[in-house]
Structure 1
Amino acid sequence: MKACLMKLCRLLCFVLTLPLCLMEIVGLYGMYKRLFPLLAYNVTFSYNDKMHNTKRELFRNVGKFANTDGTLRLLEIGCGSGANFKFYPYGCTVICTDPNPHFEKYLQMSMDANTHLTYDKFAVASGEDMEHFEDESVDVVVCTLVLCSVCNVLLVLQEVRRILRPGGAFFFLEHVVSDPSTWTYFFQNVLEPLWYYLGDGCTVTRATWKDLEAAGFSELHLRHIEAPEVSLVIRPHITGYSIK
């Protein structure tokens, strides 16, 4: 009964998104991509407040993956407005990528506010194709709230492994699908069609931990957590790091 209700409600939600779908087909949805960085920048402050302890715990070991000469090159995929910068260790060099070029203005504001870091460049690139970066050229790769919206998670992870040096680490924090027995799972499936457009391609029903398990890293340190006080549909998270 619950499954039938979920399918019916999802169908109704999908019908409501048809105007947005039409806008995407005719090219008008691109206007929202210009607005999305502003919305994401403002949401960042609230999310960081709620997830401060989680992020601080996640990134506290980033420094131990510095190169033998003491330098640390960190590449962030889908950096957005630079929400993670304040958690990175003093002196590390940060390289930023995002497929949306309209984030650059907000990214610069975060750079100006976090002068303890050195910034290399901002590359407009998708996680699936980071040809700008050479094999084994960085010590750490970071990806937070990004794997939900890429087209091919395994291809992104393949690129991560390519550009990481041997012994380098991939740090992640992602919202994931809930257990099928929960009401969170119900609402994730019902609201996913609408959430996809409001979140600029965000998918809330991915079991991303399975992709990480299949990605071929030598070590995987992963925890499932419930994010405090965030929207119900993105409350289940995974956090941790993998070592090449």
Structure 2
Amino acid sequence: MLWRKRLFAHLYPRLSARHEALVAERKRALFQEALGRVRPERVLEIGPGPGTNLAYLPPGVAYLALEPNPFFHPRLREEAKRRGLALTLLPGRAEAIPLPEESVDLVVGTLVFCSVADPEKALEEVHRVLRPGGAYLFLEHVAAPKGTPLRLFQEAATPFFVFFGDGCHPNRKTIALIQARFPRVEAEAFSLPLPVVAPHVAGLAFKE
């Protein structure tokens, strides 16, 4: 429903500010690692929202953004212009990326695979559009270990998050899905002082 997408786009920058402060240094190091190893000319970001991650990209890269929530688009355009990045907004969703095979050097997805409708299909698409030697950079909140009180809380909270959080699933086992699609994954698990979504994982997955 459009009103939920509009509300989410309005609230998200405020809601995510604390999270971004907690992960900014980790993100910066992760982007520097990816940029140094891949040296991308074309970068695709899935679900960039208001464009928070543009701060970690160097000027001059061709930046492709797949953002299905249209209410993020004006802010995303403004941020790309401010950062000196050539922005191309792509239609569609992560499960059907409208790009040719092996056409991008780096795919970025942060706090997005919790909300895609079909994460396995979306990861297939990420793998398809990456060139050999390219990388998928990810930072996601993930499910707590099975049987723990936090996991039980995540399971109970998921319907609320899905409804008000634009499809967010706090109980999703994203790292297992990434490892199933990419044979070479360098990842680190960590926890943040946040309710429900404390467990996180971040890293790089490489296409051979």
* 1:151 corresponds to: 117
Over 3 Å counting, the alpha-carbon distance change for 1:189 and 1:109 in structure 2 is same
* 2:38 corresponds to: 65
The 8 Å contact of residues 62 and 88 in structure 1, kept in 2 or not, is answered as: no
State the Cα RMSD in Å. 1.5
Which one has the largest radius of gyration? 1
Q: Structure 1 stretches of 5 or more lacking a match?
A: 1-28
The answer to whether the aligner puts 1:51 opposite 2:48 as a matched pair is no
TM-score, structure 1 as length reference: 0.80
Paired residue secondary structure (2:169): coil
* 1:10 corresponds to: none
1:73-112 mapped onto 2 (5 Å cutoff): 73-112=42-81
1:107-146 mapped onto 2 (5 Å cutoff): 107-115=76-84, 118-130=85-97, 132-146=98-112
Paired residue secondary structure (2:113): coil
Paired residue secondary structure (1:33): helix
What's the % identity of the aligned pairs? 33
The 8 Å contact of residues 209 and 238 in structure 1, kept in 2 or not, is answered as: yes
The 8 Å contact of residues 37 and 106 in structure 1, kept in 2 or not, is answered as: no
Runs of 4+ in 1 over 6 A off after TM superposition: none
Alpha-carbon separation, structure 1, partners of 2:26 and 2:138: 11
Over 3 Å counting, the alpha-carbon distance change for 1:57 and 1:160 in structure 2 is same
TM-score, structure 2 as length reference: 0.93
175, 191, 202: which one aligns with 1:226:
191
The answer to whether the aligner puts 1:239 opposite 2:206 as a matched pair is no
Q: Structure 2 stretches of 5 or more lacking a match?
A: none
The 8 Å contact of residues 34 and 204 in structure 2, kept in 1 or not, is answered as: no
The 8 Å contact of residues 65 and 72 in structure 1, kept in 2 or not, is answered as: no
Offset of residue 182 of structure 1: 3.0
26, 32, 44: which one aligns with 2:4:
32
The answer to whether the aligner puts 1:42 opposite 2:26 as a matched pair is no
The one-letter code of the counterpart of 2:70 is: P
The 8 Å contact of residues 204 and 234 in structure 1, kept in 2 or not, is answered as: yes
Offset of residue 62 of structure 1: 2.3
Paired residue secondary structure (2:100): coil
Number of aligned pairs? 206
Render the CA deviation track for 1:82-139: whole Å, top value 9, x for unaligned: 1111112343221111111111012123223323xx2231113210011x21111110
The one-letter code of the counterpart of 1:92 is: V
